[in-house]
């Protein structure tokens, strides 16, 4: 996946001189995860460059550049490192179009490696998608496949408004046999990754692979589970989610972030409202716990895994099927 994101950035830089890539250590070093490896050497330090250790300044500079016709792509070295820039994101990035009655848009991308599973600690493993999804004016996407990492990032750079691009760190090393650019659905579309008939697992980002593994393991229990990859948290493809759950009659939402007031909670509420008469059991959530991110030795207890997902599936009143 890391190589796909790198290729997407390279292609954007090659095709559009208005695109600039910058952040902490993205230039000579190529980023902590080497996502920007080689870009400064190929496109010059004017187009891909290092910034001071000042996230608020990084995003603030991107705001000014986007207001003047450029298309900045900034990297928050880790998801939680963006918190010092949150005032810029909420007060200016998200509101500029509305504040100016549509006369000033901010076509910019904020890339953020997010989620756990690599032995990091708090500030390095957060899943803060709910903060952004709760802020009107932001588009929020989270790829789960190599093809989507490329396709969604290309779409994000071309998007007319600001996009929060959440990159699942633990999937950086995932591999797929795919020739880029591979055809992908646009921003705003969910995808059924695995068809099934007995229940729907709804997931996004790193949790999609967990859901797919759970669906495969569920075959031993005689359960045929459908897996829907949300892909685009904002805008949310309600139609695909609702159609799947109305078809299967049962749903479990899987996400790494703490469950309280989360994106998983919003999706569960939506499905309960829109699918109430088709549901054979209450919608369940399998999420991270409502705690600060734990130490590396304990994160496997915190993150949703196949066992926890199957435990939730088992509670969906199968005896009524």
Rounded CA-CA distance 14/9 in Å is 9
Residue holding tokens 């130490």?
A: 295
Per the DSSP assignment, residues forming a β-bridge with 203 are: 229, 254
Candidate list 92, 123, 124, 300, residue with the active-site label: 124
Rounded CA-CA distance 181/149 in Å is 10
Helix, strand, coil in percent for the chain, rounding step 5: 40, 20, 40
Residue holding tokens 């699918």?
A: 275
Rounded CA-CA distance 63/91 in Å is 11
Q: Is 277 a catalytic residue?
A: no
- DSSP letters, 277-316, are GG-SS--EEEEE-SSS---TTTHHHHS--HHHHHHHHHTS
Rounded CA-CA distance 151/189 in Å is 12
Residues recognised as catalytic: 124
């Amino acid at each position: 996946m890391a190589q796909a994101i790198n290729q997407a950035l390279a292609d954007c830089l090659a095709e559009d001189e208005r695109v600039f890539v910058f952040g902490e250590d993205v230039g000579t070093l190529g980023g902590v995860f080497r996502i920007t490896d080689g870009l400064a050497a190929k496109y010059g330090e004017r187009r891909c460059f290092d910034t001071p250790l000042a996230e608020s300044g990084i995003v603030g500079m991107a705001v000014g550049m986007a207001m003047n016709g450029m298309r900045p792509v900034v990297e928050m070295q880790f998801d939680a490192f963006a918190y010092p820039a949150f005032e810029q994101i909420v007060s200016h990035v998200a509101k500029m179009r509305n504040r100016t009655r549509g006369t000033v848009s901010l076509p910019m991308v904020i890339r953020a490696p997010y989620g756990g599973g690599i032995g990091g600690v708090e500030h390095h493993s957060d899943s803060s998608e709910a903060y952004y999804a709760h802020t009107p004016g932001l588009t929020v996407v989270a790829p789960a496949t190599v093809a989507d990492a490329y396709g969604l990032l290309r779409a994000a750079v071309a998007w007319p408004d600001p996009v929060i691009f959440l990159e699942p760190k633990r999937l950086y090393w995932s591999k797929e046999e795919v020739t880029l650019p591979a055809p992908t659905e646009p921003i705003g579309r969910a995808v059924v990754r695995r068809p099934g008939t007995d229940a729907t697992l709804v997931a996004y980002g790193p949790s999609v692979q967990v859901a797919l593994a759970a669906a495969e393991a569920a075959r031993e229990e005689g359960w045929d589970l459908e897996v829907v990859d949300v892909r685009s948290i904002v805008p949310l493809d309600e139609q695909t989610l609702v159609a799947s759950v109305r078809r299967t009659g049962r749903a479990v939402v899987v996400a790494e972030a703490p469950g309280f007031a989360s994106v998983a909670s919003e999706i569960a509420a939506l499905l309960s409202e829109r699918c109430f008469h088709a549901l054979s059991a209450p919608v369940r959530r399998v999420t991270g716990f409502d705690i600060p991110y734990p130490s590396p030795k304990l994160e496997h207890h915190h993150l949703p895994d196949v066992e926890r997902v199957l435990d939730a599936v088992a509670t969906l009143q199968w005896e009524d099927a």
